[in-house]
Structure 1
């Protein structure tokens, strides 16, 4: 069976905890608000998004975040009757933030900041005497400082100790993503190394205390797909969880690249899961947990939990009006990264996005993007509808058509890549922009999907499809998404 993600599309850096019969999981959100998507599951296979942890402006400021800046690599834990979450905000100068809640579905506290705990990928664990230990990939004046650990006062964010170095892995670059677990008489340190690209890996060591000394696992790496023929690559950044029956599982992220060499991934890093079996005091990866496939078709509520905006909350630019939503431009410069955009993640290898908009008071429409500099836009301006490709600094009109005004139905569909496997023409997919009318769809233009991929755009995110406004305002009457990993199942 082909492995499928348990949470598909741009959901990297998973962290999971079980409380009673429920599993809770969070992910990095980078420049998007609300921050830190929160998911719930009863079986580690089927997950439902139930909100965000950083859901209020008082908790999250990503206004200065560049593409792939902002919130990275959260850790979620349950201790002393409360849920605790720590993450890094690279956009506001405060480094780590710590928030908690008795009920994860309720309001999380305004964060306690740790400006003197400088690094990324923070982990939370509590020593036998109740001291909070934060382990992380430290930064110093000269750059990365390796994996380090400090005791921290959770009430103030003040470090109680200096940094102490932890195990640095098996030699892969960028040791990061540490998580500590107490299992039996040992403390286990799980880390990521090798970078979050094709060399990504998960390795482990154990010791008698959270400070070590550390004994590497004799069969490291616990998980990697480097050099392996698999539809899932870049596997890493894992977190272990124990079920109520005593068995164990692991969540981790990976990508599904397609197209010609070096191949391209367009959905971002997605979350996968697998069984874990313990032998001789060490974990070993078991069978992957794979949810059922099939097509999805939904009509979206733009206020739903799946929707987000870069560098601001959706409510800053989106208001409900009679017959839909009004999206108002935040910046008069259409080339600015502050063009108003709200969207939802592309979660399937093949997808269709459709929006009905009225743009009589502005310029905007439908878009599928990695960031503001890599997108396919369907733009309505007056009585003209254009398909526009944005690739870095280049913005090119692919085709246009005349409309009579009023409500306009716009569509972007992804099609399988075209070309021979040994040809540079083979794309991960092809993006097609259409104007939909009473007589059917009229194609306005198409774009090789590699130009809206992480390998071309760079960064850490994946595609989002949504609506945008560059000038004035537009009314969004409706928005629909359909997706399938089998193109034959796409409506």
Structure 2
């Protein structure tokens, strides 16, 4: 029997939701503070996914000026994608403005509509269900302001976004904390209500209930949870926040989030990733996910028509008129902070007053780290004219936790610096004088360390320093995202007068050599 490997979409792609149209599958994931928002993928086999673009591509759809302190993840939480009557719908919550909404499009590549805000809704994690009788239901969480904790539901006018009924508590879950991420399905004569519980950490799980009515009462599956890797040594942990889909051949599948911790360390840095598990139905009419409720790194592909892997987009020479879908800004970009047209074939970044330490929109173009073992390299042309101006390559988790190798002027001398920020501690870990107009900056990652290098074009790379991966893990840095490799520029308090030019960015996947605990322990000495 052919097999496939998890994660099917590696790196920071949490809260996956999927729908099928004919023989095509479409999937979306949370994007939090990053812009454009909600990456959208296409697949023919549920295993090999190609990113089409993003759902939210305009600031009018996705304002990201949040109110919470730095280090907290805001923006887009838990989108759900559904297809109905010739239209795709994506419902979600923008935590930055504390509002839930949905958008629609006639094709998944867009353009997508302006947000239709769900006035009077109050909860998060909205999910749409289109019933056979023409009714539309909106299902989500409590509003966290005194309501009983659980899953709430109301009938919705899909044309206007107006609620046609009061919000009603329909299920309180099985007793796990934070019941969230609900989805309602009609399968045969039953309405199935699936939700995540236990918080999106190591106690995460997926549970399910059913009823003859969309409002219940809902009967809990006696075998709950239907998916959880908690209290196991399995390499995928924190499994949950799932969505069910039926393939054209009648087989059932489940997409879900999970993490891959560093060996025995209960820390992860790549973020919550998208995984896939087969689903069978038992004699009592309940779904059984994966290996009797647990998820593996490798599963049988069953009858899925496995195609060829999608080509890895290793190198970007910035020759296109638009950035490729793999790239993101951190929050809404300042329009004049970046350009692909100012110097054709190069990415131009103009440093803003905002730095990587600030709550704002730095000149930042980044892509997710998606592999434990990898290399990222860029060629930078930048000769800062004033103190405080810098540009370089960052390994970025959030404003309080990041490393960067950068070109800067210090006391009138042109230098390359390696800076590490860990919480309130900021350290220039290494520096070297550098006079050439261009420099190749690189970082090599494994489970334990980021190693930063520099080179003049045509010369071998030199190591400038290292930084531990542990300090950029979610368990240390907080938030709900994963690490990004980012090209950035800043004036550190004022706009920079000198533009930074990036000729290319190259992300190379290295052999996946996972370390065992004793190896990590010995290297940590």
Per the normalisation by structure 2, the TM-score is 0.86
Q: Say if 1:295 and 1:485, in contact at 8 Å, map to a contact too.
A: no
Match of 2:506 in 1: 480
User: How far apart, CA to CA, are the structure 2 residues paired with 1:21 and 1:295?
Assistant: 21
> 26-35 or 214-223, which moves further after superposition?
214-223
> Cα deviations across residues 393-420 of structure 1 (Å, max 9, x unaligned)?
21111111221131111011113xxxxx
Match of 1:45 in 2: 47
Structure 1 residue 230 displacement after superposition: 0.5
Q: Say if 1:57 and 1:313, in contact at 8 Å, map to a contact too.
A: no
Match of 2:418 in 1: 387
Q: What's the secondary structure of 1:450's corresponding residue?
A: helix
State which of 367, 373, 398 in structure 2 corresponds to 1:344. Answer: 367
Q: Say if 1:331 and 1:340, in contact at 8 Å, map to a contact too.
A: no
Aligned length, in residue pairs = 474
> Cα deviations across residues 53-86 of structure 1 (Å, max 9, x unaligned)?
1112221111226541010000100111211110
Q: What's the secondary structure of 1:46's corresponding residue?
A: coil
> Cα deviations across residues 206-236 of structure 1 (Å, max 9, x unaligned)?
1001111111112111100110110100000
Summarize the Cα distance change of 1:284–1:451 in structure 2 as closer, same or farther, 3 Å threshold. Answer: same
Match of 2:454 in 1: 435
Match of 2:233 in 1: 229
Task: Kindly indicate whether residue 127 of structure 2 is the aligned counterpart of residue 108 of structure 1.
Answer: no
Task: Kindly indicate whether residue 445 of structure 2 is the aligned counterpart of residue 414 of structure 1.
Answer: yes
Q: What's the secondary structure of 1:456's corresponding residue?
A: helix
User: How far apart, CA to CA, are the structure 2 residues paired with 1:16 and 1:62?
Assistant: 25
Summarize the Cα distance change of 1:49–1:367 in structure 2 as closer, same or farther, 3 Å threshold. Answer: same
Match of 1:422 in 2: none
Structure 2 counterparts to residues 111-122 of structure 1, below 5 A = 111-122=115-126
User: How far apart, CA to CA, are the structure 2 residues paired with 1:54 and 1:400?
Assistant: 40
Structure 1 residue 173 displacement after superposition: 0.4
Q: What's the secondary structure of 1:63's corresponding residue?
A: coil
Match of 1:306 in 2: 326
Summarize the Cα distance change of 1:286–1:332 in structure 2 as closer, same or farther, 3 Å threshold. Answer: closer
Match of 1:419 in 2: none
Structure 2 counterparts to residues 70-81 of structure 1, below 5 A = 70-81=75-86
Task: Kindly indicate whether residue 401 of structure 2 is the aligned counterpart of residue 374 of structure 1.
Answer: yes
User: How far apart, CA to CA, are the structure 1 residues paired with 2:179 and 2:96?
Assistant: 22
Q: What's the secondary structure of 1:455's corresponding residue?
A: helix
Structure 2 counterparts to residues 312-323 of structure 1, below 5 A = 312-313=332-333, 317-320=337-340, 321-322=342-343, 323=345
Q: What's the secondary structure of 1:139's corresponding residue?
A: coil
Greater strand fraction, Structure 1 or Structure 2: 1
User: How far apart, CA to CA, are the structure 2 residues paired with 1:216 and 1:357?
Assistant: 57
Structure 1 residue 436 displacement after superposition: 2.0
Task: Kindly indicate whether residue 90 of structure 2 is the aligned counterpart of residue 85 of structure 1.
Answer: yes
Structure 2 counterparts to residues 41-440 of structure 1, below 5 A = 41-64=43-66, 67-93=72-98, 95-142=99-146, 145-259=149-263, 261=265, 263-280=266-283, 281-286=285-290, 288=299, 298-300=314-316, 303-313=323-333, 317-320=337-340, 321-322=342-343, 323-332=345-354, 335-338=357-360, 339-361=362-384, 362-382=389-409, 383-415=414-446, 428-437=447-456, 438-440=458-460
User: How far apart, CA to CA, are the structure 1 residues paired with 2:33 and 2:481?
Assistant: 9
Q: What's the secondary structure of 2:125's corresponding residue?
A: strand
> 263-272 or 333-342, which moves further after superposition?
333-342
User: How far apart, CA to CA, are the structure 1 residues paired with 2:479 and 2:84?
Assistant: 34
Q: Say if 1:9 and 1:462, in contact at 8 Å, map to a contact too.
A: yes
Unmatched runs of 5 consecutive residues or more in structure 2: 292-298, 515-525
